[in-house]
Amino acid sequence: MSETVSPSSLVIAVDGPAAAGKGTLARRLADALGLACLDSGALYRAVGLAVLHAGGDPADEAAAAAAARTLDTGRLSDPALRTPEAGDAASKVAAFPSVREALLEFQRRFAREPPAGCRGAVLDGRDIGTVVCPDAPVKIFVTASPDERARRRFAELQAAGAKAIYAAVLSELAERDDRDSNRAVAPLKPADDAAILDTSTLDADTAFRAALEIVAQRAPGWRRLVQDVR
């Protein structure tokens, strides 16, 4: 058992590929159920960005591991982490076992001892259900077709005023999927006991209700609260 969670607390693992909607879903679940929320991708983005800012190469394992070991986890909401450059650097540093190892305990502690007196936590990422919190009672693997994910990412970039070309967004996503899914350590894949939530044809509200249903099924102690939220 890699985490010790008291019976009344709840850990929800939300994993999935880039732009599948898992961040939005994780945040909504956390807000609705009064849980703390950790976007683990922000940790990898912060490491990638720290390497870039120091003039290093995110594909250099020694530089990436040093950045991971000295990471300031208090700045995970920095908007600079949301840029495509940070995402690309994140995907590179995330392939290194030493980087993943350096970030593991922070994530496990967040799940075990959520901040602000919360009764549990939602963590989203790629390996939460498989590696970080393999004992989480609720695991949701959020996915969507590559076209749909590219369409959403493209719309996000346009709304933010960034210049974007749909074909380029689609091929960057495919590249990241490939890197995240085929790396040797903690590759992107659903845990054997994860519920698969395909959001290709679902809007955000419908996906949220489907996720609440999964929570109600898998965490019976939380059913009443889920009913109140619905």
Per CB under 6 A, residues contacting ligand DC are 18, 40-41, 44-45, 87, 90-91, 94, 125-127, 176, 180
Strand order in the sheet with 10-15: 36-39, 120-125, 10-15, 138-143, 195-198
> End-to-end alpha-carbon separation of the chain, Å?
32
Nearer to ligand DC, 139 or 216 (CB): 139
Interhelix angle 40-53/84-93, nearest 10 degrees: 100
| CA proximity to 137, closest of 230, 64, 216, 197 | 216
Nearer to ligand DC, 160 or 223 (CB): 160
Least separation, in Å, of the C-beta of 125 and ligand DC?
2
Nearer to ligand DC, 34 or 146 (CB): 146
Rg (CA), the chain: 17
Contact 36, 116 (CB under 8 A): yes
Nearer to ligand DC, 96 or 222 (CB): 96
Run of H or E including 91: helix 84-93
Burial class (CB in 10 A: 0-12, 13-18, 19+), 208: buried
Least separation, in Å, of the C-beta of 14 and ligand DC?
10
Least separation, in Å, of the C-beta of 87 and ligand DC?
5
Nearer to ligand DC, 58 or 114 (CB): 58
Nearer to ligand DC, 34 or 187 (CB): 187
Least separation, in Å, of the C-beta of 18 and ligand DC?
5
Q: How far is CA 142 from the centre of its chain?
A: 10
DSSP structure class, residue 198:
E
Q: Which residue has the tokens 């922070």?
A: 106
Least separation, in Å, of the C-beta of 88 and ligand DC?
8
Least separation, in Å, of the C-beta of 15 and ligand DC?
7
